[in-house]
Amino acid sequence: RYISTFRPSVKCEAAKNKAQCKTMGPAKVAVPSPNNFLQKHSKEPKLPAKKKEQDSKKLPALSVPRRTDRPVMGIQSKKNFINTNAVAATKGLPKKPRPIYVDRRQGDKYLLEPSGLVPKYIKKKDYGVTPKYVTQRNEETKRAQEEYEARILEDLKKRAMKRLSDEERRNLLQGLKKNWEEVYREFQGLPVQIDSVPKRLHKEKLELQMKQLEHDIEVIEKHKVIYIANE
């Protein structure tokens, strides 16, 4: 049997460190000093000391007069304020009342202009004018439609598509209807009792032909413009 060469050294180390794990935790723990107890606010961050304001800073200018200020005395005016006010009241234009509206029979009054009842928006210079973003969007839509139509025409030219004329479309529709009548006449000539496999296959074939012809006739009648590929 295989025996490791490190077996004696592992046993020695295990025996050496085995006594340290007999207790709960390390055998010897450093006991804190009783003088080093937790004090109040000891874990709070300490802010730097406040700096004293410098005395050299000037105080802001006060808007009120000082106690030591004295008013200028002795200035008199020869203007007759009574006559001036009387002349201004006589020749002045009367003050126009602000428009109001009353919405209750009790007589509650409100200003008319901020109420929204005055049609002041129709007097704006740009009233009724199409906004620029709408015009721009319409132009972009029209340009995209023109590019789409040009791409479709180019694609049709690449595929060498040919548009059927009204006469050709009419002749094609008449031919399909004639073929449907012939297939339907043959279908009506089938026996009532289908008792063999060939008869059943022939009936299914006629039904598929009639269904395909009906689909083609419906498509041609629904679409007035028809393109076909030139062979």
pLDDT band at 59 (very low <50, low <70, confident <90, very high): low
pLDDT of residue 24: 65
**b/e per residue, 31-55, with b = 16+ CB within 10 A?**
eeeeeeeeeeeeeeeeeeeeeeeee
Residue-averaged pLDDT of the chain: 84
Residue 142 lies in a domain: yes
Mean pLDDT for 166-182 is 90
- Look at strands 227-229 and 161-163 and give their pairing: antiparallel
pLDDT band at 20 (very low <50, low <70, confident <90, very high): low
Same domain, 198 and 210: yes
Same domain, 177 and 199: yes
Residue 166 lies in a domain: yes
Q: Of 115, 145, 160, which residue sits at a domain end?
A: 160
Mean pLDDT for 135-140 is 95
Same domain, 118 and 152: yes
Same domain, 194 and 141: no
Claim: this prediction has a pTM higher than 0.85:
no
pLDDT score of 140 more than 90: yes
Residue 115 lies in a domain: yes
Residue 82 lies in a domain: no
User: DSSP assignment, residue 43?
Assistant: S
Residue 176 lies in a domain: yes
- Number of domains comprising the chain: 2
How far CA 87 is from CA of 90, 92, 97, 135, in Å, comes to 5, 8, 22, 59
Residues of the domain holding 140? 101-160
Same domain, 167 and 214: yes
Mean pLDDT for 26-52 is 82
* The two structure tokens encoding residue 73: 């005395």
